[in-house]
Chain A
Amino acid sequence: AQSVTQLGSHVSVSEGALVLLRCNYSSSVPPYLFWYVQYPNQGLQLLLKYTTGATLVKGINGFEAEFKKSETSFHLTKPSAHMSDAAEYFCAVSALSSGGSYIPTFGRGTSLIVHP
């Protein structure tokens, strides 16, 4: 079984400030972890993912996330927020199912609000 908890349904930052979106996961097997971004009335776009190897993962648009096994966390960060970063962000955990597919479980999402 696997689950994802995203702390904070809304995060508000000023333009240029650090962005930190929190994600904790639960998985009975080594997880694959993902962050997706969703703009209004659009599908999901992959920001970054962790599978194996280096625990600090760099993604698109200046985002990065660090896998911390001891804390079961995969927080998303960006050093300097831009107005265009305002969107909904979803953390997801995925593991290989008995059927041979990776089925992701999504968190409830965090809405990032960027103030000028």
Chain B
Amino acid sequence: GAVVSQHPSRVICKSGTSVKIECRSLDFQATTMFWYRQFPKQSLMLMATSNEGSKATYEQGVEKDKFLINHASLTLSTLTVTSAHPEDSSFYICSARAQDRRADTQYFGPGTRLTVL
């Protein structure tokens, strides 16, 4: 149990376009979802925390107008990278906290590799 999926797994887009990444909890309800960004050979940096039905909380330095997060249901959160540029190329990972599990437990998705040309 506790599976989190991401779609797409890999996306290549042109500079200036917008890209949407989906994060789904497949077999549990996620009250909270987290979005991370990982640069090559580096650690995960938390971008934002989203709670179902409310606005996401962004970490300092993360542009909320550029990285739009929607958590419309208990099983789906989306991250939209608007007007993407090459510096947005990265590995984006989501995680979800289950409604009925320990608050300290997060389940991670497999990640989405974004390449902006």
Query: Which positions in A face B, CB cutoff 8 Å?
Result: 9, 32, 36, 41-46, 49, 51, 90, 94, 96, 99-104, 106-109, 111
* Bound CA span A36–B111, Å: 15
With A43-B111, A44-B108 already in contact, the answer to whether A102 and B44 are too (CB < 8 A) is no
In the complex, the answer to whether B103 meets A101 with C-beta atoms within 8 Å is yes
* Interface SS of B by simple majority: strand
Our pick among A43, A96, A99 for the contact of B57 (Cβ within 8 Å) is: A99
Minimal beta-carbon separation of A112 from chain B (angstroms)? 14
Which B residues from 89 to 113 make CB contacts under 8 A with A? 91, 93, 95, 97, 102-106, 108-111, 113
* Bound CA span A99–B41, Å: 30
- Is B49's CB within 8 Å of the partner chain A? yes
